[in-house]
Structure 1
């Protein structure tokens, strides 16, 4: 079952060659599909929903994400070659959550805090 309201807040970004760059405002759900290219997303100026999800699917390309210091970050998915690096922070359980779902062959996930 799908909630119609959640569909209205999903932003689809598709690029055959090249990446995706986003600054500021963010939909509650963003899906980035790039066979070759990464995603560079800065959410430091965004009014975040309680849960924001960024899904990245590619063959080659990772995710560079910048979030406010008081944001919980959860990373899911897999990359055959690549790692995950999240700058430490001290968010509380009541702070917004950003879920990063990243899938690909080459790439990784890097999260920086503002």
Structure 2
């Protein structure tokens, strides 16, 4: 599904039971993952990142595990009733690509690691 007013593609991933696992090697699209029960495990460590990429995760149970290259800036927003956020620190330059994680759910958290 794409927005006709935008040239950027949106990649939808839906799993009713179970999670979503993805390793991206090319240029990633903005991604929306919907998993009522299950998490999202996304590896962008070998991806050709544009200036800004967004990963949106919606679930009842399940969090997000994200792996990014060392110099990438990561912004996390969203809400989980139970679950935390662990973002491995990095020294990103002002011109570094930005990966924005939007995670919404009841139980789960966000964990960001670097390659």
TM bin, normalised by shorter chain, reads over 0.9
The correspondence for 1:3, drawn from 2, 5, 18, is 5
Give the corresponding residue for 2:19: 19
Matched, 1:84 2:85: yes
CA displacement at 1:2 relative to structure 2: 5.6
Task: Report the 3-state secondary structure (helix = DSSP H, G, I; strand = E; otherwise coil) of the residue aligned with 1:35.
Answer: coil
Give the corresponding residue for 1:71: 72
CA displacement at 1:27 relative to structure 2: 2.8
TM-score, normalised via structure 1 length: 0.94
Deviations along 1:25-76, whole A, 9 cap, x unmatched? 3533000000000000000000011100000000000000000000000001
**Residues 90 and 2 of structure 1, relative CA distance in 2, 3 Å threshold:** same
CA displacement at 1:5 relative to structure 2: 1.3
TM-score, normalised via structure 2 length: 0.93
Q: How much is the aligned-residue C-alpha RMSD, in angstroms?
A: 1.3
Identify, as 1 or 2, the structure richer in helix.
1
Residue segments in structure 1 that go unaligned for 5+ positions in a row: none
Residue segments in structure 2 that go unaligned for 5+ positions in a row: none
Task: Report the 3-state secondary structure (helix = DSSP H, G, I; strand = E; otherwise coil) of the residue aligned with 1:48.
Answer: coil
Dislocated runs of 4+, deviation >3 Å: none
**Residue correspondences, number:** 112
Q: Which stretch has the larger CA shift, 23-32 or 93-102?
A: 23-32
**Conservation of the 8 A alpha-carbon contact between 2:28 and 2:48:** no
